[in-house]
Amino acid sequence: MAESPNKDSLIVDEGEGQPTIDVYQTGDEIVVQTPIAGVSKEDIDVEATSESVTIRGERHRNEKIEDADYLYQECFWGKFARTVILPQEVDPDEAKVSLKNGVLTVRLPKINRSNSKKLQIKED
């Protein structure tokens, strides 16, 4: 018979959380998505480099609830952050970020370095 979880194991640590993400690619871009329901766009910070993207934010609790009053506590409240190392170089200057129905989407255009250029050799 399985043991029922004790109430203390349901309490979420007060540290920084890490949101779940999906990362996929199309022919032209890498897309990062994360569900962040309950977070306003003013509480979200997205930073991108040519090699990575970082999503930071904070989900605020609107009311004070004592730990002893919880029956279950599975939602994360507080600060969260997630950095993703990208599999291909992207152009952060052309990146686009949107928030719709509680899902944050970061679209990062790929930089196509596969185009080669023939170089001329100069004699010294």
Tens place of pLDDT for every residue, the chain, 124 residues?
A: 444 444 333 333 456 889 999 999 999 999 999 999 889 999 999 999 999 999 999 998 888 888 899 899 888 888 999 999 999 999 999 999 999 999 999 999 999 766 566 777 888 7
pLDDT of residue 19: 92
Task: Record the tokens describing residue 26, joined without a space.
Answer: 């199309």
Q: How many domains does the chain have?
A: 1
DSSP labels, 20-68 = --EEEE-SSEEEEEEE-TT--GGGEEEEE-SSEEEEEEEEPPSS---GG
Tell whether 3 is covered by a domain.
Answer: no
Which range of residues forms the domain containing residue 87? Answer: 15-61+71-109
CATH number at residue 80: 2.60.40.790
Tell whether 123 is covered by a domain.
Answer: no
Residue 46 corresponds to which amino acid?
V
